[in-house]
A = this chain, B = another copy of it.
Amino acid sequence: MAKDVTTIPYKTYLTEEEMPKQWYNVRADMKKKPAPLVNPGTLKPMTAEELEGVFCSELVQQELDDTTPYIDIPEEIRSFYRMYRPSPLVRAYCLEKKLDTPAKIYYKYEGNNTSGSHKLNSAATQAYYAKNQGLKGVTTETGAGQWGTALSMACSYFGLDCKVFMVKTSYEQKPFRREVMRTYGAEVTASPSDTTEVGRKLLEEFPGTGGSLGCAISEAVEAAVTREGYRYVLGSVLNQVLLHQSVIGLETHKAFEKIGVTPDIIIGCAGGGSNLGGLIAPFMGEKLRGEKDYRIVAVEPASCPSFTRGKYLYDFCDTGKVCPLAKMYTLGNGFMPSPIHAGGLRFHGMSPALSELYDQGLMEAVSYEQTEVFEAAEMFARVEGILPAPESSHAIKAAIDEALKCKETGEEKNIVFGLTGTGYFDLVAYQQFNDGTMTDYIPTDEDLEAGLAFVPPQPEE
């Protein structure tokens, strides 16, 4: 049971001086850039003016900038980051021992803040720019609730109104999430709701629906554009979000430098791609510049398999079709993930930047069913002492599988994964797992066809 003190500590923290002062913009190093957002009416790339009706001006600039590799992090945001960052890079000694693997397993742990996840990195940034622009408030959607909680925290810190549309399934499964957001002063509405046109329409068509991220996005956008002094903010998918989340990867990269280790495999769970895109950013940069090579693995739920079973197409990001079109791996804006699926990673699409990188063969993707994901979660919790979020547990499962392959081959690979958050609000799912009543739903080919039925006309490229 004992473990000798080794030269590599259990946890590696950067000092506050070593924390990143700039975000890294991976698009700057991509020869073929991600496809631009497109106006669904004209099928032409969205202009800054068009986007500024929905998003804060500074964030629009970041969204469109695919040439500047490093962008300064304003001091106010660095100050906010210091409240809960740097996050530790943890060596999973106990998991390695449990698996009896020669692999070295590391994880970057983003759960040490009350929002329970990495989402706070972008929430703080977007709230800051909204405040700076003199706005009154922001609207958003949340699925599992991590993004909504993060944004509520950020808005209460910077003094902004915060209106959250929460996917109905999650709203019902996670009443306590709502209370955390309320404690931070946010207004939370179950989506679809009767407070927006798009919500009322959907409720009429599907009265019993548990909602979807796509629908909650439509409601939040409508609530923003019909209100003076409000803008819409999004916690994933967008280029700006991946930019903000690059702090995860930059800290990870520097922590590995400090301990003199180079990772071989980098693993992250992928819903809209915010965590994965952030974690891999500087490593992908090295790969794009031909300086180093890494295996990079995206992990997604078998019940919502955008990368592994989706199509690379222009599609709406929302169900109500009020958003611009994005070229991405998508299951179609008509796809509704099964309510059996716990936690996040329920979005029908995927970050356009990651989609392009995946299409270029620069990263792999794999999918898992939720019961095997919870088995990995339980094993991890019991030896590493952290109850992981279901989302993060997808990455745990993939890391365990890679470590077990190393056991077969005897290879001492360095594996790192993103432990994006904690499972404190996922106990209904853990209870199902503990009771042995957890199942999963894998979409049939017919389900996937139905999801793609509403894909819009494709712009010329």
Contact = CB atoms under 8 A, between A and B. Distances in A.
B386 A184 contact: no
B385 A157 contact: yes
A94 interface: yes
Contact of A185 (B3, B382, B427): B382
B180 A2 contact: no
B385 A114 contact: yes
Contacts of A385: 83-84, 113-114, 120, 153, 157
Nearest to A6: B16
A15 interface: yes
A200 interface: no
A183 B9 contact: no
Contacts of A185: 382
Interface stretch (A56-64, A74-82, A409-417): A74-82
A157 B427 contact: no
A39 interface: no
A383 interface: yes
Given A13-B13, A158-B1, A176-B427, A387 B82 contact: no
Contacts of A182: 430-431, 434
Please indicate which of the listed interface residues A4, A120, A424 has the most CB atoms of chain B within 10 Å of its own CB. A424
Contacts of A175: 427
A22 interface: no
A156 interface: yes
Nearest to A182: B434
B1 A76 contact: yes
A422 interface: yes
Interface in A133-163: 153, 156-158
Nearest to A94: B83
A112 interface: yes
Given A2-B76, A2-B79, A9-B15, A382 B431 contact: no
Interface string A368-399: 00000000001001111111000000000000
A430 B179 contact: yes
A425 interface: yes
A144 to B, nearest CB: 14
A70 interface: no
A164 to B, nearest CB: 15
Contacts of A15: 9
A156 to B, nearest CB: 4
Interface in A164-217: 175-176, 179-180, 182-185
Interface of A: 1-5, 9-11, 13, 15-17, 75-76, 79, 82-84, 94, 112-114, 120, 153, 156-158, 175-176, 179-180, 182-185, 378, 381-387, 422, 424-425, 427, 430-431, 433-434
13 contacts: A1-B79, A9-B16, A10-B16, A94-B157, A114-B386, A156-B382, A176-B176, A179-B427, A180-B387, A180-B430, A182-B431, A424-B424, A424-B425
Given A157-B383, A176-B427, 14 more contacts: A2-B76, A5-B17, A9-B15, A10-B16, A10-B82, A11-B82, A83-B94, A176-B176, A176-B424, A182-B430, A183-B430, A183-B434, A184-B381, A185-B382
